[in-house]
Every structure is written in C-alpha cells, then in structure tokens.
Amino acid sequence: MNNQFEQIKSSGDIDEYRLKSNDLRVLMLQDTSTPVATFMVTYHVGSRNEAIGYTGSTHLLEHLMFKGSRNFNKEKGTAIWDELQSIGAQINATTWNDRTNYFEVVPSEHIEKAISIEADRMRFSFLRDEDRQPEMTVVRNEYERGENSPFDVLDKNIWATAYQAHPYHHSTIGWKSDIENVSTERLKEFYDVYYWPNNATVTIIGDFEKDNTLSLIDKYFGEHKKSSHEIPEVYTEEPKQEGTRRVVVKRSGQSGITAIAHKTPPGLDNDMYAIQVLGKILCDGKSSRLYKKIVDKGLATSLFMYDFPFKDNGLFITYAFLTPGTDNQKVEDIILKEYSDIIKNGVDESEIMRAVAQIRATVAFSRDGSYAVASALNEAIAIGDWQFYTTFLEKIKLVTINDITRVAEKYLVEDQSTVGWFIPKIIDK
Amino acid sequence: MKFKESVITNEPIKGLTTFIIPTKVRDVVTISGSMLGGTLFSNPENNKISSLTSSMLDKGTQNKTKHEISDKLESLGAEISFISSSRHINFTAHCLKSDLELVISLIAEQIKNPVFPDEELNLLKKRMIGNLEISKDDTKKQALIGFLREVYPEKHYNYRSTIEESIKDIKTISSDDLKKFHNTVYGLGSLNIAVAGDINNDFFINKIQKYFTDWKSQNIKKLSKSMSANKRNESIKIKNIKDKTSSDIYIGQSIDVSEDSEDYLGLMMGIYILGGNFSARLMQTVRDEQGLTYGIGSTLAGCGYGTSGHWYTWGTFAPNLIEKGINATIKEINNWYNSGITEKELISKKTTINGSFQVSLDTTGGLIDKILTNVEKDREISYLDNFTNKINSLDYKKINKIIHKYINPKKFTTSIAGSKV
C-alpha cells in the first residue's frame, strides 16, 4: 500500500484510509461487476452551516464550483462539464443540510480524470463575480421551479415552523432574497473556511485498482495542505418546543395536503433505528397502517413519510396528498389517532418483521451499482459516522416491540408536533 | 462486456422468451417483462382501458385479496409494479435472490388471474382522477400536452388527451371493460422477460415454466407503422396557470423520421449536440452564459417502432423572462441550424454517448432496460454490441445535411404553461 496513507479501519468490505499529509479521509469499496467506478467527494458543510443573509450559499457555491478552476476551465478548453461528459461520465453535485457532494460515475479507465478535477477545484476554484451573476439567476430559477410545487412550499414551511433557532429552519436552496444578494466575497469566505482536505471524505466505489488509485489520490489531493484553522462547529441548539405549531399555505391548486411532523433525535442516536422501523410500519407499502386507513379509503391519492437521519435533530413527517374534496382535518385526525394507537397498544411482531424485511431489501438494493453505494455512504458520512451505513441493518434487526412503543411515546408527542396544511384555492383558469 | 456472449436467451414456453444476465451483484435480482397490449391497444373510443387494467392487477386475484398480495411481498421487502406504456404492458420486480420463486409466482398469479373487484376499481378511479386533477397545475405536463396536441393529429399514436378528456374516459370504464380487455389481450405470444443480478439460469427457467406454462396464448398483432404527423405550422399555445413562479416551454415540430431510418442516429446526434446534456450548446449559452434558466435541453421523441415522431427543446423560465428566454433559445437553434455542428463537437459527443452507454450498465436495472427495449423493438441482441460502432461511424458533414433535411426553423410550435407576468 502507498505509504502516504494510514489505514484507519474496515467495515462491511469498505476500507478507510487517511492521507497523512493533510488528513483527507478516503473510503474504498471494490466491486468489479461492471467496468465502472464512482468517485465522490463529500464536504462536511451544508445549509446547516449558513445563517441569515447567506442562506443558500452552500448550494450557490456548489454551482460556482463548476465554473472553472486552475487546470479545468473554458479558457484552457478544459471546462469541467466538457472534460467529464466527453468521456460519458455521469456527473453532478448535490447540497443538503449537513453536506455537499461532488461525484463522477466513469468508465473505470477514466478514474484519474475524476480525481484530478475534484482535487483541482477543492482549493483552486475561480469563484469569480462575473460567473456568480448569471449563475445566481440559474439558481433563482431552480428556486422558482421548487416554488411551483405545493409539496415543496409546504415542506419548507413546516421546517421553518418546527425549527426556529437551529439552521435547519431554512431549506438548502435558501431564501430568494439571499440567493439574489449574497456577495461573491461571502461565497469565497465560505469556500476558504470549509473546502479543505481535512473537512472532506473521498469515496471510490466499483471497478478500480486500489494501490494505483491511492497513488492518484496522493498525487492530486496530496498537493493541498490541511487548513490552518479549525473547521467551525455549529453550536446553535433548538430551544425546547412547548406546544403544537401549525402552518397553513393557501394557493391556487386542485387538492390539499396534510402533513404532521414531530422532532426526532440526531441521526446517530440509538433511537433512530426504532424510529426508522416505526416509519415503515406506519407508511411504507400497501400493508402499512396509514395506507390502509387513508389511501385505501379514497381519502388520499398517495401517502409517504420521511425521517432522514441528520447530524442534528430531524423531523418525522407524514404527508397525505388528498383526493379532491377531502377535508384536511379529517386526515389529520386519522394520522394522530394511529399514532395514539401505537403509543397505547403497541405494534405486532409481524409488523416489525415486515418493516425489517423491507429495510433488509432496501439495503441490498442500495448496493446495486457503484453510484447507489456511494450515494448511501455519502449520507452516513454526512451525519458523522460512515459505519452507520455498514452496520445499519444489524442495528435495525435488534429493534423490539418495546422499542417501537417507547420511541412512539417519546417522540410522537403533541407538544413537539408541527402540523402543515396546503389548502387549494380552486380558481377557474 | 459483449451482450451476445453475456445474455442467455431461451424460449422455455412458446410465446415467452427469457433473457438472463447474471452479474456479480450479491443477493439482488431485478426482473422486467413486457408484452403487447399498451394504451394503443385499448378500445379506440377509450384509451385508458389498458392502463386501468394493468393498475388493477395488484387489487386481487382468484386466490388472493390485494392485502394478501401486498402482505406477502412486503414481508419480503420485495416490490412488483405493473404499468401500461403506449405499446406494451410492462412489469418490474425487485427482490432478494432467496425470494425469487415467490415473486415469480406472484407476478404470474397477478397477470394471469386478476378479478377486478368493483369496489377496488372505484377506489382506483377516484385516485387516478385525483392525480389528474392535481396535474392540471403541473406546468411541465400542461406545456407538453399543448405541444403534442398541436403537432399531431388526433388519431396519431403520439397525440395526447387533455386532462378533462382523460377524466371523462376513466369515469366511463367498468370492471366488465377490464375483464374483456384482459381476456382478449393478456396471454403468451409476445411476452419477454429479462432478469439480471444474482441469478441462476436453470433455476429461473424452471420457475418460469412452472408458473407460466398453463397460460393461454394470444395472437396480438403489432400496430401498423405508417402514421403521419400534422403539417407543420408556426403556432403558439399558451396555458395560464395561476400562482406559478416558473413556466415550462416546449419549442419544436413533428419530424418525418423513425428509429428505423438510416438518418435517425445522425439526426439524434445532431440534436444531442444542440441540447443533449450540460455541455451541449443550449445549456452552455442559455443557462451557463446568460443565466436565463435552470434547465434546457433538446431531444428527438416518439420515433420508436417505425413511427415518425417529433423533436423539441424544453426549458423553464421565470414569467418575466419568458420572452427573453424563448428568443435566446430560438437564436441558438438558428445558429445550430445555419452554422451546423463541428467535427470537434462530434468527436466529443461520440465518446460521451459511448461512455454513457457503458456507465448505464452499472446496475441490474440499467442492464435489463437496455435488453428489453432492444427486444421490444425487434432488434437482435447484437445491436447492443454494435451500437458503439454505429455511433463512431457518424460523419459531421452528413449530420449537417440530415439536420437541413428534417428541421424547418421557420415552422416551430411553441407551447407555454405558467403564470402571466
């Protein structure tokens, strides 16, 4: 093995290394099923690290990172999109609450290209004002497209209502006025605080040669020093919620949405496993409790819930997309009654077995293709422990009936809830 | 990977062909199947019959209620879905290797012996109508409907009903209509099943024979190929939808070329250079340089199965930027048409398409999608192996001639859906 690296640990066929010169973390999983590899860089910075005036900066910066860097730019005829798409790579980047990731799915023989581009833009991105100006309107149109959707608007409102102090209050794309007005200097400052090898994890999944790839990572990322400053921690905590909160969005539309959110613990809290199982029991599939009581009764066209594990506290949200004419309150009452029933009467063993089977299959499917693995691993990296991905299923299997009742009682508490309604204003078009 | 060497093809039962591709992925199996009987095979007076029939397959069989089916599947974490595309009835299933036999048996039971209960049909109709009502506010869907209704005559395969027409059609369908459709269309004959993942050939064939041998045969004829589009006219369709912060725009025209044409790949490549990906011209100018949109692209569509289709450019713009956005888009299309593509662009996009083809095979779903689409179009499996050579043989001068042969920049249809400024 390349002696510039130190092996840290292994779990679930994944090996972790540290580049000694700058503390870059590297995760590797070899799979030679197809001659394809995914290369991903996850930065430990997301909209969680923003505040008033520069919400959406992480995402806007992500866009600017494609505008050119020292070795890869239009002036040299080596623009990032051109270089990667000309080899057939799938390429993109995404930003979320706790992380920003940049990735390339490439034919295996082109992995060096992906590594060299990501290393170059880690510290040598141009971030020019003449690039920010047209990109701001691009991002604003992305925001506007999201605003077209009643679900997106309601979801933003629920988070903004449930979280008042903590930065999960604002969505990843940020507030429109911040997108329009944040300065290039502020974005550069953001870049210089967070885009360092010691605040990033590189993941390589698929068909690659390990020693050679480590040497390439050393060759390209090894030129960067670690940051001379400590990466700042977010210290804002959400004050205790003392009572149900409600938010209503009224707009032109055809049918309503009812949503109920409850605060959940940080993603690495042990209760998160039981919460994931509880979500499956309530909402996943046609056999789930709420599907039978809401969709099967013709009250909603569809139903889903999410309880993503985040670095800090999250939300357990159930969404019901109502059939035209269905009353929001009626569906809200059904959802809350079901929550109460679980708190009071618990769940059956068969329900837990079904939920665990669903999760077991989901975990297996999440290993179908190198990008699927990298993507799932990326979210575990974001919450602070990549082994969350490799140990997830084993922890899920340990969840008991008592755990479900306990977490339902602890987290599905009325005073910790935020109820959201989308009410359509049906207007003759 | 060579498809011809990797894909094991069998006809274990007359009228049912299997395509098996074992991969190194562990425990996971993906199955997809298709047979003739899509929406174009519905009663001409009501093209929703096929889609309601396929959507009702999981609502109960002669031996199981819908809850017994979903309980069995979900207790394994497996999924089966049925859908009607324009020509085919399709199904897809994901499961663990250990559950494969049960999943095959459930696919067979649902597709062979559904019972179409009235109560379930009424519930499904209510949900489908609800979704259609919601789509009245979907700017992209509304712009596309407006565009397709303008470029195709009513009887064309690619014509699209309005939301109101679709709702009306759904309301009139009875369970007897579905039973009759199932009885006359569903069966062996054109059924193809592709499977990829952690799979054993003999085991799969054995289970297919076990669960499908007793199914009746149907003699469904393929649809005739000749189908003319509307005569081209410069036209504009506008759908006003209130409270929308972004509008969707389609610009394009019908096009007299099908995938079987020798000009198809050349035209496809020419249009890909205009708007096929981020590094294509439209994204580089209208988005990257001018910042007018989050997304804009251009493609050929509706050209499969020997039918002439259409090409379009689609983009989104804020209401106050629509005029500017459309002008910038048209300017770039005209520049592409007048100046043509360059040899350098073609070289770059050849490697893009060939590399993308390789990357798309990274998942079991990607593999079987390629195989099944290929067989649905009556192509030999070797077509997939020769695809790269076909792309590499394209010549930029010929492509520029093909662009001029098929595109008429003076007769575009523009369809806009969104809020007025």
Query: Is residue A304 domain-shared with residue A212, that is, in the same domain?
Result: no
- Using a CB-CB distance cutoff of 8 angstroms, which residues of chain A are in contact with residue B317? 141
Query: Is residue A252 domain-shared with residue A367, that is, in the same domain?
Result: yes
Instruction: Classify the phi-psi angles of B95: left when phi > 0, otherwise alpha if psi is within -120 to 50, otherwise beta.
Output: beta
Q: In angstroms, what separates the C-alpha of A382 from chain B's closest C-alpha?
A: 24
Strands A24-30 and A14-19: antiparallel
The answer to whether the CB atoms of A361 and B244 lie below 8 A apart is no
Query: Is residue A206 domain-shared with residue A311, that is, in the same domain?
Result: no
Strands A314-322 and A300-306: antiparallel
Stretch A84-107: mean pLDDT: 95
Residue B209 has pLDDT above 80, yes or no: yes
> Which domain, by its residues, includes A136?
5-221
Q: In angstroms, what separates the C-alpha of B240 from chain A's closest C-alpha?
A: 7
Confidence of residue B293 (pLDDT cuts 50, 70, 90): very high
Chain B residue with Cα closest to A145: B246
Express each pLDDT in B244-267 by its tens digit: 999 999 999 999 999 989 999 999
- Using a CB-CB distance cutoff of 8 angstroms, which residues of chain B are in contact with residue A429? 136, 239-242
The answer to whether the CB atoms of B137 and A364 lie below 8 A apart is no
Last residue of a domain, one of A187, A221, A255: A221
Query: Is residue A168 domain-shared with residue A308, that is, in the same domain?
Result: no
Confidence of residue A202 (pLDDT cuts 50, 70, 90): very high
- Name residues 107-126 of chain B within 8 A of A (Cβ): 123, 126
Which of A153-167, A201-215, B229-243 shows the lowest per-residue confidence on average (mean pLDDT)? B229-243
| Residue A418 included in any domain | yes
Q: Which amino acid is at A255?
A: S
* Distance set, CA A124 to CA A71, A81, B182 (Å): 8, 17, 62
The answer to whether the CB atoms of A372 and B363 lie below 8 A apart is yes
Tell me what ipTM this predicted complex has: 0.90
Provide the domain count of chain A. 2
Q: Which amino acid is at B188?
A: L
Question: Nearest to residue B169, comparing CAs of B11, B14, B52?
Answer: B52
- Name residues 373-412 of chain B within 8 A of A (Cβ): none
| Residue A327 included in any domain | yes
Express each pLDDT in A264-278 by its tens digit: 999 999 999 999 999
Confidence of residue A427 (pLDDT cuts 50, 70, 90): low
Question: Nearest to residue B25, comparing CAs of B364, B368, B366?
Answer: B364
| Residue A233 included in any domain | no
Of B277, B288, B291, the CB nearest to A136: B291
Query: Is residue A157 domain-shared with residue A286, that is, in the same domain?
Result: no
Give the list of residues 6+ apart from residue A69 with CB closer than 8 angstroms, or none.
A80, A117, A120, A121, A124, A125, A126
Distance CA A184, CA B407 (A): 42
Establish if B95 touches chain A: CB-CB under 8 angstroms. Answer: yes
Which structure tokens are listed for A41? 């860089």
Establish if B365 touches chain A: CB-CB under 8 angstroms. Answer: yes
Residue A330, pLDDT score: 98
Question: Nearest to residue B236, comparing CAs of B411, B32, B50?
Answer: B411
Instruction: Indicate which of B29, B59, B65, B74 best probes the interface with A, i.e. most A CBs within 10 Å of its own CB.
Output: B74
> How many beta-carbon pairs under 8 angstroms link A with B?
201
Give the list of residues 6+ apart from residue B63 with CB closer than 8 angstroms, or none.
B109, B113
Instruction: Indicate which of B55, B97, B362 best probes the interface with A, i.e. most A CBs within 10 Å of its own CB.
Output: B362
| Residue A228 included in any domain | no
Express each pLDDT in B223-238 by its tens digit: 876 677 777 889 999 9
The answer to whether the CB atoms of B28 and A365 lie below 8 A apart is yes
Query: Is residue A216 domain-shared with residue A290, that is, in the same domain?
Result: no
Residue A429, pLDDT score: 42
Establish if A423 touches chain B: CB-CB under 8 angstroms. Answer: no
Cβ atoms B244, A429 nearer than 8 A: no
Residue B302, pLDDT score: 93
Residue B92, pLDDT score: 97
The answer to whether the CB atoms of A358 and B131 lie below 8 A apart is no
Confidence of residue B44 (pLDDT cuts 50, 70, 90): confident
Query: Is residue A196 domain-shared with residue A292, that is, in the same domain?
Result: no
The answer to whether the CB atoms of A90 and B357 lie below 8 A apart is no
Of A144, A288, A361, the CB nearest to B77: A361
The answer to whether the CB atoms of A88 and B28 lie below 8 A apart is no
| Residue A230 included in any domain | no
Residue B370 has pLDDT above 70, yes or no: yes
Angle between helices B264-275 and B322-339 (to 10 degrees): 130
Q: How many CA atoms lie within 13 A of B250 on its CB side?
A: 29
Establish if A90 touches chain B: CB-CB under 8 angstroms. Answer: yes
The answer to whether the CB atoms of A371 and B197 lie below 8 A apart is no
The answer to whether the CB atoms of B358 and A35 lie below 8 A apart is yes
Cβ atoms B143, B415 nearer than 8 A: yes
Distance CA A263, CA A275 (A): 11
Query: Is residue A15 domain-shared with residue A149, that is, in the same domain?
Result: yes
Residue with tokens 């999201």: A146
- pTM exceeds cut of 0.90: yes
Query: Is residue A258 domain-shared with residue A158, that is, in the same domain?
Result: no
Cβ atoms B151, B412 nearer than 8 A: no
- Using a CB-CB distance cutoff of 8 angstroms, which residues of chain A are in contact with residue B321? 137
| Residue A394 included in any domain | yes
Which helix (DSSP H) or strand (DSSP E) does residue B80 occupy?
Answer: strand B79-84
Query: Is residue A314 domain-shared with residue A168, that is, in the same domain?
Result: no
* Backbone phi and psi for residue A97, each to the nearest 5 degrees, phi listed first: -50, -50
Query: Could you give all domains of chain B from N- to C-terminal order, each with its CATH number?
Result: 3-212 (3.30.830.10), 235-418 (3.30.830.10)
**Per-chain mean pLDDT for chain A:** 96
**Per-chain mean pLDDT for chain B:** 94
CATH number for the domain including A14? 3.30.830.10
Stretch A73-92: mean pLDDT: 93
Query: Is residue A174 domain-shared with residue A313, that is, in the same domain?
Result: no
The answer to whether the CB atoms of A367 and B28 lie below 8 A apart is yes
Establish if A32 touches chain B: CB-CB under 8 angstroms. Answer: yes
Last residue of a domain, one of A186, A221, A256: A221
Establish if A177 touches chain B: CB-CB under 8 angstroms. Answer: no
Chain A residue with Cα closest to B24: A33
| Residue A237 included in any domain | no
The answer to whether the CB atoms of B348 and A136 lie below 8 A apart is no
Distance CA B89, CA A35 (A): 32
Establish if B355 touches chain A: CB-CB under 8 angstroms. Answer: yes
Chain B residue with Cα closest to A34: B362
The answer to whether the CB atoms of A86 and B349 lie below 8 A apart is yes
| Residue A333 included in any domain | yes
Query: Is residue A207 domain-shared with residue A356, that is, in the same domain?
Result: no
Q: In angstroms, what separates the C-alpha of B18 from chain A's closest C-alpha?
A: 22
Establish if A365 touches chain B: CB-CB under 8 angstroms. Answer: yes
- Name residues 13-72 of chain B within 8 A of A (Cβ): 23-28, 30, 58, 66-67, 70-71
